[in-house]
Structure 1
C-alpha cells in the first residue's frame, strides 16, 4: 500500500488529521484511569467502528466529551460503560454507523430478499 493509499485509508477511518490530533490532545489531558478507558475504547473502535470519516471523527470527539465530563464530575468508569463495556461501545457504533457501508449492505440484502419473496408470491 502506497503512502497516498495509507493516508486515504487513515483519513477514512479517523477523519481529517486535524480533528484526530485535537481528539488525541484531549485524551492526553484526561486523568490516567479515564485516558486508559478511552484508549481501550479507541482501539476497539479502530477495529470495529464505523468506517466513514465524518462518523468516526464525530464518534471519537463525543467519546472525549463524555469522558471529559465524567472526569470533571468524578464519575466512576463503570458508571459510564456499564457492566458490559463491549455492549457500551457496540451501542455507540450503532448510533454512529447510520448510512455507512454496513447499513447500506444490510438494506440491499433486505431489499433483495423482499424482492425475491414478492416474485415468489406472484407466481
Structure 2
C-alpha cells in the first residue's frame, strides 16, 4: 500500500463520515454503535469490504422513506449486527482455528 492509497483511503473515509453526520441523530447513534461493535468483533473483510458503505446506504434509504432507525432495524440492534456478519469470517474465528490447530498438533 503506497502513500497515495493511504491518502485516497483517508479521503474516502472522511467522505463516508460526512455522510454519517448528515443522518438524523437517531441514525447517527445507531451507526456509531454498530461501527464500534463491528470493529470490536472484527469481521476480516470489514476494511476491504463494503459493509459499512452498504449499511450507510441502507440508512440513507430509511431516512428517505421517513422511517426512524429503530423502525428500520428493529428493537434488537445486536441481533441486527449479528445478522450482518453471520457469514463473515472474524478475527475470533481465526483465533479459535489457531487454538484448535495448536491442540491438534501438540495433543493438548
Q: Which range, TM-score by smaller chain?
A: 0.5 to 0.7
Distance 2:23 2:59 in 1: 8
Q: Which runs of 5+ in 2 are unaligned?
A: 1-5
Preserved contact between residue 20 and residue 28 of structure 2 (Cα < 8 Å) = yes
CA RMSD of aligned residues (A): 2.7
1:32 aligns with 2:32: no
- Relative to the length of structure 2, the TM-score reads 0.67
- Pair member with larger Rg: 1
Distance 1:47 1:101 in 2: 10
Cα deviation 1:28-61 (Å, max 9, x = unaligned): 1111121121112112112113133213xx1110
- Relative to the length of structure 1, the TM-score reads 0.60
Preserved contact between residue 34 and residue 67 of structure 1 (Cα < 8 Å) = yes
Structure 1 segments of 4+ aligned residues over 6 angstroms from their partners: 105-108
Greater helix share, structure number:
1
Preserved contact between residue 73 and residue 80 of structure 2 (Cα < 8 Å) = yes
1:21 aligns with 2:2: no
Out of 41, 47, 51, which is 2:40 matched to? Answer: 47
Cα deviation 1:44-86 (Å, max 9, x = unaligned): 112113133213xx11101110111101111122222223110
Preserved contact between residue 28 and residue 35 of structure 1 (Cα < 8 Å) = yes
Distance 2:91 2:33 in 1: 24
Q: Which runs of 5+ in 1 are unaligned?
A: 1-10, 114-123
